[in-house]
């Protein structure tokens, strides 16, 4: 019983420590994402993306880079630009960029995993897009694409700000920043459940799950082991998405779990595959099927999974060739002094103050109509309710664990 209580306290402390480390990065990332979504609208994206395939892929990648990292928001935006005329390959480029190349994700990865994984994330995101582009050119699924367009119902979308106004003028207006505040609120509404559950699971895994479990799940993994055969790396890459499927909590919430996997000795390729897996899980498959039909949804799944395998392998061997493969010992997941007077404390205070100002501006000083916000993909009501109640249970678990650690 004493061992359980000690592990419970450690699990709760690790979770809260993880979140404290990442808090300023979440705030910075979502403020930036909110600004982009208010000042650079989908209509502006669609007007800029032309018929030329190379140009449209490059622009799709760029617009994805400056978009939200939430998978569900990315799915809805991708559907919208595809429906309004963007090519299939540029839509896929936008989808991959908006979930893998976004700034806030890179910041979180740098905190938990180090610079090699940040480089892997951004280079890997570009590789994913390039491989998908090549595969689409080779397969040339014209009939699937035509059928997918027919499955999308035409609808009027007046949800965005007036494109006739110059964004340079809008950025100087207080009302525009009130819209940013509303969008910032929506960003947190999208992810609070995923982040809560993800960080809590990371703490529980760190405290309770023995290394032997990871060594069984990921062949020949273990702390200190970096010498993997090709087939062991391939097994890690295939198992990574399976682990992501079982703990699907969104790309941002998955990063502490990725740090745990790497700290337990999973290969660099396997961890990158785990991070890249947010678009090859069942909720995403179901939403794509609702948008485009099951055949296209399964095609997208196969396309992304194939690209994921190729990208993870390429990254691993390229980093190995350059002798920059990260060392698992650089990831400290337990026994850390999370709450101390350092740059994290001052950054958290600064960005919490900025959050407070946005809350004041958007919800007390300026009134903004709610329909000015972007579309979200239709989530499963059952899954959302499960996640909501799971998040509440997590809060009780964390409160109990912290009481046990510091008061008992």
211 pLDDT band (50/70/90 cuts)? Answer: confident
161 vs 233, residue with greater confidence: 233
131 pLDDT band (50/70/90 cuts)? Answer: very high
Q: Give Cβ neighbours of residue 252 (< 8 Å, ≥ 6 apart).
A: 26, 69, 104, 105, 108, 191, 194, 195, 198
pLDDT of residue 116 exceeding 60, the answer is: yes
Is residue 156 in a domain?
no
Q: Check residue 104 and give its pLDDT.
A: 79
Q: Check residue 206 and give its pLDDT.
A: 79
pLDDT of residue 202 exceeding 80, the answer is: no
Among 23-32, 152-161, 332-341, 361-370, whose mean pLDDT is lowest? 152-161
CA distances to 225, 258, 262 from 222, in Å: 6, 15, 9
State the average pLDDT over residues 4-26: 87
Dihedral angle of Cα 60, 65, 71, 74, to the nearest 10 degrees: -40
pLDDT of residue 238 exceeding 80, the answer is: yes
120 pLDDT band (50/70/90 cuts)? Answer: very high
**Side-chain-facing half-sphere of 214: CA atoms under 13 Å:** 23
Is residue 77 in a domain?
yes
pLDDT of residue 45 exceeding 80, the answer is: no
Q: Are 63 and 72 in contact (CB under 8 A)?
A: no
290 vs 303, residue with greater confidence: 303
Q: What is the overall mean pLDDT for the chain? A: 81
Q: How far is 222 from 224, CA to CA, in rounded Å?
A: 6
Is residue 312 in a domain?
yes
Which of 260, 248, 149 lies closest to 204, judged by CA? Answer: 260
pLDDT of residue 164 exceeding 60, the answer is: no
Q: How far is 281 from 250, CA to CA, in rounded Å?
A: 10
Highest mean pLDDT among 8-12, 33-37, 70-74, 147-151: 8-12
Q: Give Cβ neighbours of residue 340 (< 8 Å, ≥ 6 apart).
A: none
53 pLDDT band (50/70/90 cuts)? Answer: confident
Is residue 231 in a domain?
yes
Work out the burial of residue 65: count CB atoms within 10 Å of its CB; fewer than 13 is exposed, 13-18 middle, 19 or more buried: middle
Is residue 159 in a domain?
no
Structural domain boundaries, residue 237: 2-150+167-407
50 pLDDT band (50/70/90 cuts)? Answer: low
Query: What's phi and psi for 285, nearest 5 deg?
Result: -60, -45
308 is written with which tokens? 């994921």
321 vs 371, residue with greater confidence: 321
pLDDT of residue 249 exceeding 70, the answer is: no
pTM of the model: 0.74
282 vs 277, residue with greater confidence: 277
Is residue 158 in a domain?
no
Q: Check residue 132 and give its pLDDT.
A: 95
Is residue 162 in a domain?
no
pLDDT of residue 158 exceeding 80, the answer is: no
- Report how many domains make up the chain: 1
pLDDT of residue 156 exceeding 50, the answer is: no
Is residue 157 in a domain?
no
Q: Check residue 341 and give its pLDDT.
A: 84
SS3 content of the chain, % helix, strand, coil (to 5): 75, 0, 25
195 is written with which tokens? 């982040």
């Amino acid at each position: 019983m004493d061992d359980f209580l000690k592990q419970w306290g450690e699990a709760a402390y690790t979770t809260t420590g993880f979140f404290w480390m990442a808090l300023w990065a979440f705030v910075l990332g979502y403020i930036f994402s909110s600004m982009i979504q208010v000042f650079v609208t989908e209509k502006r994206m669609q007007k800029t993306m032309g018929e030329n395939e190379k140009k449209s892929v490059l622009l799709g990648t760029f617009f994805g880079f400056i978009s939200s990292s939430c998978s569900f928001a990315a799915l809805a935006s991708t559907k919208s630009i595809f429906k309004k005329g963007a090519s299939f390959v540029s839509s896929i480029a936008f989808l991959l960029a908006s979930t893998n190349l976004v700034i806030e994700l890179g910041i979180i990865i740098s905190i938990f995993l180090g610079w090699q994984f940040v480089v892997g994330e951004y280079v890997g995101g570009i590789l994913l897009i390039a491989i998908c582009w090549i595969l689409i050119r080779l397969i040339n699924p014209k009939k699937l694409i035509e059928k997918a367009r027919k499955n999308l119902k035409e609808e009027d979308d007046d949800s965005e700000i007036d494109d006739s106004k110059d964004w340079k003028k809008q950025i100087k207006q207080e009302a525009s920043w009130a819209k940013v505040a509303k969008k910032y609120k929506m960003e947190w509404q999208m992810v609070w459940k995923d982040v809560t559950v993800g960080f809590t699971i990371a703490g529980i895994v760190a405290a309770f799950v023995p290394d032997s479990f990871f060594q069984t799940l990921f062949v020949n993994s273990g702390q200190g082991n970096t010498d993997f055969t090709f087939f062991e790396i391939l097994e890690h890459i295939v198992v990574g998405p399976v682990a992501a499927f079982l703990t699907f909590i969104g790309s941002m919430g998955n990063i502490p779990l990725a740090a745990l996997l790497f700290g337990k000795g999973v290969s660099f390729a396997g961890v990158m595959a785990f991070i890249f897996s947010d678009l090859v899980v069942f909720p995403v498959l179901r939403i794509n099927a609702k948008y485009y039909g099951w055949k296209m949804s399964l095609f997208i799944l196969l396309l992304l999974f194939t690209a994921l395998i190729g990208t993870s392998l390429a990254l691993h061997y390229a980093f190995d060739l350059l002798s920059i493969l990260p060392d698992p010992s650089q990831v400290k997941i337990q026994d850390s002094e999370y709450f101390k007077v350092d740059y994290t404390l001052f950054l958290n205070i600064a960005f919490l103050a900025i959050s407070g100002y946005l809350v004041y501006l958007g919800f007390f000083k300026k009134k903004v109509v709610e329909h000015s916000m972007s579309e979200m993909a239709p989530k499963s009501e059952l899954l959302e309710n499960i996640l909501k109640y799971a998040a509440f249970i997590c809060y009780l678990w964390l409160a109990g664990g912290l009481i046990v650690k510091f008061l008992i």
